[in-house]
Amino acid sequence: MLRKCCLLVGLVFLLNIVAISGAAAGVQAAPEVPVLCYHDIGNPRGNPYTVTKERLREHFEWLKTNGFQPISVEEYLKAKQGLAILPDKAVMLTFDDGYLSFYTDVYPLLKEYKYPAVLAVVTSWLQTEPPAGIGPLVTWEQMREMEQSGLVTIASHTHDLHRYVPANPDGDLGQAVSTFIYKDGSYESEASYRQRIAADLEITQRVISGHLGHPSRVLVWPYGEYTQIAIDEAYKKGFQLLFTLENNGATALHGELGVRRMIVYNNPAAEKIAPYVQTGKIQAPLRVGQLDIDLIYDASPQQMAENLETAIAYLRKAKINTVILQSFADEQGTGNIQELYFYTSAAPVKKDVLNHIIQRLHREKFQVYAWMPTLAGQWLLTGHPEDEVAAWDNKNKGWYRRATPFSPRVAAELKKVFRDLAAYNPIDGILFQDDLYLNDYEDFSPAAKAAFREKFNRELTPAALNDPQVRQEWINLKVQAMNKLTAELMDEVRRYRPQAKFARNIYPSAVLSPEAKAWLAQDYAEFLQLYDYTVIMCYPALEKVPKPERWLADLAKAALAYPGAAERTVFKLQAYDWEKKRWIAPAVLKKQVAILKENGAVNIGYYPLNIYSSKMAQLPF
């Protein structure tokens, strides 16, 4: 049916400020607190993270005039523990890196307005010379004075993790907290990584205790980067509150990943920060492009570098903000995946280039999601033919050769792959390939038969499925098997990328036709609950619909009839006609986008991308 698939999700904000997020999925709803993240105070020329003292006063005055009440760490922790109720319009103020300007410019304003704030210091910078370009820093004597005022909480910004380390064979650098160091041809082990993080946090607490007389309760992750391992070690070292920098909202008090913050960027006027402070959110429509590494990869590093720059130029011109990046090799376009483009010990690797490409895209401010196969990984079936999805009528097997989601062995092998993907690549999220389906003739593999036997205490046969109730329950069991598999894979990814978001492809018939749950074992309503984004493959030419415009309108109406679906659904349009072997005309795409938007669509994407087009026309969004 499909050649490949997919796309989706993530955010690159086109405002002067970047929103930040990160509470644990499934955490009970709780009050939310907007948190502002400042850095240096002074002349912002040449440093977009610096704000003027006049601008900071303007922000403080705006907070006061509009009834916002900055709260202290103590107030926040009590509320988190259920021991206090926060004031209406609570907000937090944080300042990173420990610049001297905090003492000379910020502290007097805090006293004037009686506002509490958090100051995060990198303890190694206070023991030796800070890195080049870092201005004068506060002294321990000044910190003791400010702490004694009751207005300032001193936080650790780690001891020596506010830096970059080697991240891949191509020489790119990754942030020290979230990167497994690449050295001498291999990646750092998990045990070594954990020991490195734990040792740093131990040192920073010892230094702070030596100068302030007590350890810090607050840890601010450098660049907002962290892993679940780092979080675990931070709590072991006595930190009670962790600050992050992520994407899209205020923090829920009971989230254990950390307190989400918004960076104050480009010396913004008060009205620029107002939307975040007032709502805790900054929303930006997703403008998604799904990109094949197959089009970029070349055995010649020089040629590959040129190809990558060509792709980036196209992405910029197309006004894309989120890239769904192919993580596997599929040059023949079969969808039956033989090799991967990242280091893993659990599957064949064509070349370890995914990390490098993501790093390059990140430098251009794109969010990057790894487009990942699951059941169609052919290595899963090597030596295990019994785990292949089987149909009771072999003529009606699906269009991908897949491993069964009912096999515990298959799940265990996939967890290893997704573990390596997340550990060694700075992904912002995952898009699950459209190989996660079972048609109405499937699955009759031994593992599926065993699951059926356990559920119904009878053998799985075509005749058994003639019972309507049994058939419906079996359909639900197939849906649950694939949902459970993705849930386990998401948990594996979150261990190394707790902030990652997840999207899954869905076939349009599963949205348009209630009967399609039986045809594909996909349930759109459940997708909306399980994943951050559901990506509908809106391919009129591939589906051979007689009236594409009406079909798209009906599809959008059906999808967006669910509450909240507009923000959680991406409509991915077909940019190439595989049957006629030609690109869809821009005018046609423009009309299709207009129809989708008229019917409420917010997030739009395209696959494939014509990155070598000489015209490089902006995609219609």
Query: What is the spatial distance between Cα 365 and Cα 359, in angstroms, rounded to a whole number?
Result: 10
Mean pLDDT, rounded, for 54-66? 97
In a domain, 476, yes or no: no
Query: What is the spatial distance between Cα 261 and Cα 251, in angstroms, rounded to a whole number?
Result: 8
Q: How far is CA 515 from CA 474, 479, 511, 522, 551, in A?
A: 14, 14, 10, 10, 17
Percent of the chain with pLDDT over 90: 86
Which residues pair with residue 99 across a beta bridge? 137
Query: What is the spatial distance between Cα 374 and Cα 254, in angstroms, rounded to a whole number?
Result: 33
Least confident of 17-21, 227-231, 393-397, 417-421: 17-21
Domain check: are 170 and 82 in the same one? Answer: yes
pLDDT in tens, 424-445: 999 999 999 999 999 999 999 9
Q: Is 251 helix (H, G, I), strand (E, B) or coil?
A: strand
What one-character DSSP code corresponds to residue 130? P
* Count of the separate structural domains present in the chain: 2
More confident residue, 29 or 292: 292
In a domain, 466, yes or no: no
Query: What is the spatial distance between Cα 475 and Cα 481, in angstroms, rounded to a whole number?
Result: 10
pLDDT in tens, 489-544: 999 999 999 999 999 999 999 999 989 999 999 999 999 999 999 999 999 999 99
Mean pLDDT, rounded, for 379-395? 95
Q: To 5 degrees, how large is the angle CA 454–CA 458–CA 460?
A: 90
- The backbone torsions φ and ψ at residue 594, rounded to the nearest 5 degrees and listed phi first, read -60, -40
Two structure tokens written together for 341: 């483009």
Q: Is the pLDDT of residue 306 over 70?
A: yes
pLDDT at 184: 95
What one-character DSSP code corresponds to residue 289? E
Domain check: are 317 and 228 in the same one? Answer: no
Domain check: are 268 and 299 in the same one? Answer: no
Q: Is the pLDDT of residue 268 over 60?
A: yes
- Domain end, chosen from 258, 279, 300, is at 279
pLDDT at 587: 92
Domain check: are 145 and 273 in the same one? Answer: yes
Other CB atoms within a 10 A radius of the CB of residue 187 amount to 22
Alpha helices in 329-456 (DSSP H): 354-363, 408-424, 446-456
pLDDT at 245: 85
In a domain, 448, yes or no: no
CA dihedral 219, 222, 225, 231 (to 10 degrees): -20
- Domain end, chosen from 279, 301, 323, is at 279
Residue identified by tokens 């319009």 is: 89
Residue identified by tokens 């390059």 is: 360
pLDDT in tens, 93-127: 999 999 999 999 999 999 999 999 999 999 999 99
The burial of 28, by beta-carbon neighbours within 10 Å (0-12 exposed, 13-18 middle, 19 or more buried), is given as: exposed
Q: What confidence tier does 407 reach under pLDDT thresholds 50, 70, 90?
A: very high
8 Å CB contact between 58 and 68? no
Domain check: are 214 and 303 in the same one? Answer: no
Residue 198: domain span: 32-279
Domain check: are 374 and 351 in the same one? Answer: yes
pLDDT at 8: 30
Domain check: are 215 and 317 in the same one? Answer: no
pLDDT at 29: 32
Query: What is the spatial distance between Cα 418 and Cα 79, in angstroms, rounded to a whole number?
Result: 36
Mean pLDDT of the chain: 92
Residue identified by tokens 């916002």 is: 68
Mean pLDDT, rounded, for 401-405? 98
Query: What is the spatial distance between Cα 377 and Cα 348, in angstroms, rounded to a whole number?
Result: 10
Q: Is the pLDDT of residue 67 over 70?
A: yes
Q: Where are the beta strands (DSSP E) in 297-387?
A: 322-326, 328-329, 339-340, 367-372
- Burial string for 466-491 (b: 16+ CB within 10 Å, else e) reads eeeebeeebbebbbbbbbebbeebbe
Which residues pair with residue 605 across a beta bridge? 288, 572
More confident residue, 342 or 16: 342
- Domain end, chosen from 279, 310, 334, is at 279
Q: Is the pLDDT of residue 39 over 60?
A: yes
More confident residue, 179 or 26: 179
Q: Is the pLDDT of residue 312 over 60?
A: yes
In a domain, 481, yes or no: no
Q: Is 605 helix (H, G, I), strand (E, B) or coil?
A: strand
Least confident of 75-84, 366-375, 599-608: 75-84
Mean pLDDT, rounded, for 140-149? 98
In a domain, 93, yes or no: yes
Mean pLDDT, rounded, for 185-191? 96
8 Å CB contact between 578 and 542? yes
Domain check: are 250 and 143 in the same one? Answer: yes
In a domain, 20, yes or no: no
Q: To 5 degrees, how large is the angle CA 91–CA 94–CA 100?
A: 145
Q: Phi/psi zone of residue 8: left (φ > 0), alpha (ψ -120 to 50 degrees), beta?
A: left
Domain check: are 75 and 140 in the same one? Answer: yes
8 Å CB contact between 525 and 562? yes
pLDDT in tens, 118-140: 999 999 999 988 888 898 999 99
Q: Is 603 helix (H, G, I), strand (E, B) or coil?
A: strand
Other CB atoms within a 10 A radius of the CB of residue 209 amount to 13
pLDDT at 619: 86
pLDDT at 541: 94
Least confident of 210-214, 335-339, 610-614: 610-614
Query: What is the spatial distance between Cα 77 and Cα 253, in angstroms, rounded to a whole number?
Result: 8
Query: What is the spatial distance between Cα 369 and Cα 291, in angstroms, rounded to a whole number?
Result: 10
Other CB atoms within a 10 A radius of the CB of residue 143 amount to 21
Two structure tokens written together for 526: 């459940």
In a domain, 202, yes or no: yes
Domain check: are 326 and 245 in the same one? Answer: no
In a domain, 61, yes or no: yes
pLDDT at 249: 54
8 Å CB contact between 265 and 48? yes
Domain check: are 83 and 201 in the same one? Answer: yes
6 residue type, one letter: C
Q: What is the CATH number of the domain that holds 229?
A: 3.20.20.370
More confident residue, 135 or 189: 189
Q: How far is CA 239 from CA 77, 80, 119, 367, 620, in A?
A: 12, 14, 15, 30, 48
Mean pLDDT, rounded, for 259-275? 93
pLDDT at 251: 59
Query: What is the spatial distance between Cα 483 and Cα 487, in angstroms, rounded to a whole number?
Result: 6
pLDDT at 6: 34
β-bridge pairing 32-33 and 251-252: antiparallel
Q: What is the CATH number of the domain that holds 351?
A: 3.20.20.80
Query: What is the spatial distance between Cα 355 and Cα 168, in angstroms, rounded to a whole number?
Result: 7
Query: What is the spatial distance between Cα 136 and Cα 139, in angstroms, rounded to a whole number?
Result: 9
Domain check: are 355 and 237 in the same one? Answer: no
Residue identified by tokens 């051979």 is: 544
- Using CA of residue 498, residue 500, residue 506, residue 512, what is the dihedral sign? positive
pLDDT at 614: 66
Query: What is the spatial distance between Cα 328 and Cα 350, in angstroms, rounded to a whole number?
Result: 8
8 Å CB contact between 16 and 268? yes
